Amino acid sequence: MRPLVVVVFLLLSSSFAFAQSKTAEADAAFAQGKALVNQAQWAGALAAFERARELSPHPIATFNIGACERAMGRYTRAFRTFASALDENAAAGGNALPRDLVSDAKGFLGELDRLLVRLTLEVTPEGSRVTVDGRPLEKNAKSPEYAAGIRPPGLGDPSPRGPFVVLLDPGMHVITFARPGFEDAVVRQNFSPGNSVSRRIELTQLPAQIHISSSQPRAIVRVDGMDVGPAPVDVLRPAGSHKVVVKHPGFEPYEARVNLRAGEQTDLRASLVESNPSIFSRWWFWTGAAILVTGAVVGTYAITRPDNREPVGGGSLGWGVVVP
């Protein structure tokens, strides 16, 4: 059945739909919706019927909302709305909707089911947030499927584990996958009516950044045993544990183990402490020690040399040099 048929029926059934309306405002909104349908102003008619249903809920108002959504090409929304109209009718004892409208609603559901796109997604890592055209997905209460284009714009919900099916309106869509610590993945694709498509999405983990500074300028920085330059320095590394060593002449080496999260920045400042070397490492100690050692050797030689020494030429001063 085409929307024109629905329009004709609306004109004939207004008294049935809202004969028991609680307020004149609801009747006025419903009448406005009918008038706008006659002019094919679907967006205005949709708003009017939504207002009427808000003031006085009725399965016929819900049915008319679905008809407007279908005419506007909002198939996922129309599918949900026609199903709601049938559920409301059943809850009211099955007599709130005329038989013709029940039949039309079921026919529209079959038509829309054939037009909807089924996109099977598998996202790694699981728990990544998914949005379609800036809107989060809506879980179908009666099936494992999700529907796009129904909820208001906002942050997506975490994706489920393993493959899952998303129902889409035909046409161009922008699908975004996001997770902290990972680079966003964006899919832009034009889908034909009734298509079934599978996509596997794998997000790329962002590196972590370490900003390393030192209390001593130009101190040399090593990360995981590799020189990365003088401090201060910014270093990109994968998420995980990393060893940082900062060295400067005359100071004790600074060592730290840093645990990094993907996509985050960590500031590390190395406070270097001046070295306090032992006496054996100071230059004046070894110079003095060398003199003492030399004296000891000479003295030892003088004490231990043999006594059978002969003087050599004393000269006029009467002194002599003794040689062994």
3-115 and 208-270, same CATH topology: no
**Which amino acid, residue 238?**
P
Predicted local distance difference test score (pLDDT) of residue 21: 45
Predicted local distance difference test score (pLDDT) of residue 27: 84
What's the pTM? Answer: 0.67
* Sign of the CA dihedral running 260, 262, 264, 265: positive
127-161 pLDDT per residue, tens: 999 999 999 999 988 788 999 999 999 999 999 98
Residues contacting residue 198 through CB under 8 Å, at least 6 positions apart: 119, 120, 121, 122, 163
**Angle formed at CA 206 by CA 212 and CA 128, multiple of 5 degrees:** 140
Predicted local distance difference test score (pLDDT) of residue 26: 85
Percentages helix, strand, coil for the chain, rounded to the nearest 5?
A: 35, 30, 35
Predicted local distance difference test score (pLDDT) of residue 65: 95
- d(Cα 292, Cα 136) in Å, to the nearest integer? 86
H or E element in which residue 110 lies: helix 99-115
- The candidate with the shortest Cα–Cα distance to 131, out of 179, 98, 200, 197, is 179
Query: What are the two backbone dihedrals, phi and then psi, of residue 301, each rounded to the nearest 5 degrees?
Result: -65, -40
- The two tokens of residue 103 are 């039949």
Predicted local distance difference test score (pLDDT) of residue 5: 41
- The two tokens of residue 79 are 């599918």
176-201 pLDDT per residue, tens: 999 988 999 999 999 999 999 999 99
Predicted local distance difference test score (pLDDT) of residue 299: 42
Q: Which fold has domain 3-115?
A: 1.25.40
- d(Cα 68, Cα 64) in Å, to the nearest integer? 6
Predicted local distance difference test score (pLDDT) of residue 279: 52
Residue boundaries of the structural domains of the chain: 3-115, 117-202, 208-270, 279-323
Considering the domain delimited by 208-270, tell me its CATH architecture: Sandwich (2.60)
- d(Cα 63, Cα 7) in Å, to the nearest integer? 12
1.10.3470, 1.25.40, 2.60.40, 1.10.3230: CATH of 117-202: 2.60.40
First to last CA, the chain: 134
Q: Which residues of the chain register pLDDT less than 50?
A: 1-21, 284, 286, 289-306, 308-324
- d(Cα 122, Cα 135) in Å, to the nearest integer? 19
